[in-house]
Amino acid sequence: MNTPVLPEFFNEMFDSGGVRSPYRRLEDWTRDMPAELRSLKQSEAESLFRRIGITFAVYGEGGDPDRLIPFDMFPRVFATDEWRKLERGIKQRARALNAFLTDVYGRGEIVRAGRIPERLVYQNEAFEKAVCGFQPPRGVYSQIVGIDIVRTGPDQFFVLEDNCRTPSGVSYMLENREIMMRMFPQLFQENRIAPVEAYPRILRRTLASVAPLKCTGEPKVVILTPGHFNSAYYEHSFLADMMGVELVEGQDLFVEGDFVWMRTTEGPRKVDVIYRRIDDAFLDPLCFRPDSMLGIPGLMNVYRSGGVNIASAPGAGVADDKAVYCYVPEMVRFYLGEEPLLENVPTWQCGKQDDCKYVLDNLADLVVKEVHGSGGYGMLVGPKATKSEIELFADKIREAPENYIAQPTLALSTCPTFVAEGVAPRHVDLRPYCLVGETVELVPGGLTRVALTDGSLVVNSSQGGGVKDTWVMAD
């Protein structure tokens, strides 16, 4: 595989003809906003974030659980036709990923057909033998699929990675919109912007639609959190409040008979669907880690017997693996009989001898990631790395090549961003949230993450990136 020739950075607001159509209404708004007002509005946004409690703790920064996530007031805008293209591709990918999970925990037809190496699936640390042969309600393993997308040109969108376990960040998508509407109501009066506030209602409907067969009556849905020390705890509590469901910890639930029960002041209440925000390993100490204090003993027995559903299913993480990612386009063809509507980023698998040699010879030009990594951790951005960092990473790859993949340094698109000196382009990505239940749905928008440091390509909130509102212009 040769390194593709990549374009110059695509500016989403400006092209050779001037301001691109989706952003035309923002040109006057930006130009007419005095620096003093911009500074005042930025302070107002930070004050709102702090008052509401919108935080994201970054591990390694001293563990401040009250760290504000940086917010940029300049919205990112998509035209209707741009969004429709993305929406079709996202839904297609979410369907294929769920078909893959159903297959590999069942007959494994895609492996038998030689379309994906057996070792990548069955020797994957995220593959959970405890759920082999069991199919969750409606055959849905991942009810909330976060697809990370980058843009490199007017019509060039690439999937950077898939998140099938517990993709975070949707609370910031919703709060970004709420704060923008508070601060700049005139923008929403002058522009037809598709709403996103239906997400909690659609999420609750999605979760209720995958209630187990033993459920009678209205499904009881809860959100299972590891607790307030978790970096995404704000989101857990926010979603529980917006959905009108209980936020629980493992100690609030217990197994008795064929069901999971929640302790309440009025006595035990049966739980039908658990939207878990904790990792597989901590779900059930009788099945996974015996030292877990976060889970519910006996949960997996009830799950396998159809007494409760867990969203997303234990074992869904095998579809998040960055080596498995390379085969998602093949999943689309194999399961859906369609051509992929969204492309993967060209990827070298270091577990392949020729790919590994190429990566080691070109580390200074590539982005290298751990196949099980997330949040921007465990990666090397070659063009930004020092010689010693590159040499250290090369040793890691030689020691365990199958643990790494590499990709070209993409020319991520830029979006205007408010910075100290005014407005400047900064690199962005997008995480839309696709909900899979009785139907496949997503709200028009997503979480736009922005690399606030000039020249940086790392947008992850866990690496100090910021967020901004994402607009889809309605017809």
The closest of 273, 304, 274 to 286, measured between CA atoms, is 304
Cβ contact 121:390 at 8 Å: no
- SS3 per-residue string spanning 419-462: ECCEEEEEEEEEECEEEECCCEECCCCCEEEECCCCCCCCCCHH
- pLDDT for the residue 266: 94
| 347-409, CATH topology level | Dna Ligase; domain 1 (3.30.1490)
DSSP summary character for residue 138: G
- Domains of the chain by residue range: 14-345+410-472, 347-409
Phi, psi (degrees; rounded to nearest 5) at 32? -85, -5
Rg for the chain (alpha carbons), in Å? 22
Under-70 pLDDT residues of the chain: 1-7, 53-67, 373-377, 461-464, 475
Contacts (Cβ under 8 Å, ≥6 apart) of 347: 322, 325, 326, 405, 406, 407
How many other C-beta atoms can be found within 10 angstroms of the C-beta atom of residue 284? 26
Cβ contact 26:417 at 8 Å: no
pLDDT digits (tens, 9 = 90+) for 323-349: 999 999 999 999 999 999 999 999 999
Question: What global pTM score does this model have?
Answer: 0.92
Tokens of 283: 């779900």
- SS3 per-residue string spanning 231-257: CCHHHHHHHHHHHCCEEECHHHEEEEC
- pLDDT for the residue 48: 84
- pLDDT for the residue 445: 95
- pLDDT for the residue 470: 97
